[in-house]
Amino acid sequence: MRGRWSLVVALMSAASSSVAADPDAAALKPLLGLIETVEANYAGDPPLRRDEVVKQAASGMVSSLDRYSEFLDQQKYKDLQEDTRGSFGGIGIEIGIVSGKLSVIAPIEGTPAFAAGLLGGDVIAFINGTPTDDMKIMDAVHRIKGPPGTKVVLTIQREGSPMRDVPLIRAIITPVNIRDTVLEASGIGYVAIHSFSEHTAENLYDALRRFKEGKLKGVILDLRSNPGGLLQEATRVVDLFLPGGVAIVSTEARDPAQRAKYYSSEKMEVPQFPLVVLVNEWSASGSEIVAGALKDHRRAIIMGRRTFGKASVQSITPVSIDKTQALRMTVARYYTPSHNEIHEVGIEPDVTLPASRYPPGMRRYFDESAFNRFAAEVLIAIGPAGAGTVWLDAGALKAGRLAPPGKGAAPEKVDGRIGVEFRRWADRQGWNETDEAWDELEDSVVEQVRIAVMRKVKGEESARRYAIEFDPQVRTAAALLTLSSSVPAAGRPR
């Protein structure tokens, strides 16, 4: 199969005389005739060159296969390579096709997209005024990326809200694919993998080794909103948790060269931690390989929501002489160790959790950057060190630490004052909430104000770590690890 595709691209790029010498040329003559006719007779301005016609023909042919296959010109191929290594100019966002629409999978913390309040599930209806209907993912990526300091406007459709334009200034984006911390309230290790790019497994191994020094009760591996990435890195992540010789994933394809079975190697010793894996409806591809393998081998408890269901494998094959263009094509599907179907099905969690969604009334506050604005006014009023405040602990602010839920002196008193002050401030902005609406919003508001204050005092990374303590799904997983002795530990499939 791979040889036939290489032949097609080569034939399209060659002169008619060389094509005629090939025994398969007869089937391709209509295509070559079409290219020559367009080149000779198209009345548009400027006239199309041969290389442009060939590129458009290749793009149309490949895009008709499925939504994941694509002919990559020089710029798109470069964009794809940047996705798996290094940094780039962009807005810091993961995108994908959901229910036929270009959508936000997740913003990356500390980026323009995150600061603008974009959320997973937001539909991107237009990019700089260009409609995204039937737009390929890599085309959208190319349009969104650009030199740092330049502007891109996304038109966002969010469920329950009117369509709106979101202007964003591009910045240097350096993805951080592994983030780890120890949950202060429970003493549980937490690792989030945001995508599977180069060195992901190596960085996870380092995090697990650091956890060993803390003698933790267990580890939460957070794969929520992880869209996938490199197949090799996903299998290496699973390899860290299983004994040698255990099946991880298999791929099935028409081309025998694309068929494979991956097994664990047990080359690196890792701590024997009980493990919970968090997934959601935006966990896809490599995330599903990891969750599926650990579930089949009963190595971990999978918690959250049914995953996305993207289990097709795309090969990336350079097709031009200078290797600046490539063919991205679906060549296989992968299956869990028990040969369970994933594509368009997803991984069903062992424990289903309610969706992590804020009350509808929170959308306005996120859209208006209300929490960051309020936090800025609070810090101006009370001073950078929090001196004299009665509703944000001065010592905690000075140390860059605010007590998480369930820990610290009189948190109910502190949270109550936060709620009162924010509601007064919101009223001054004209956002008057009824008592009934406020009862639904208050807990979420307090959480976001605390996070925003931490962001202003200690920066984005500290705010992110602090926010994990509030996450209801993380807290549920931590409670399970703390209370249950039945959670599987590393190296001991059950």
| Residues catalogued as catalytic | 285, 296, 310
Find out whether the peptide bond into 46 is cis, omega within 30 degrees of 0. yes
Q: What are phi and psi of 263, to 5 degrees?
A: -125, 155
Query: Which residue from 285, 290, 180 is spatially nearest to 236, judged by alpha carbons?
Result: 290
Counted residue by residue, the chain has a size of 494
* Count of beta carbons in the 10 Å neighbourhood of residue 66: 12
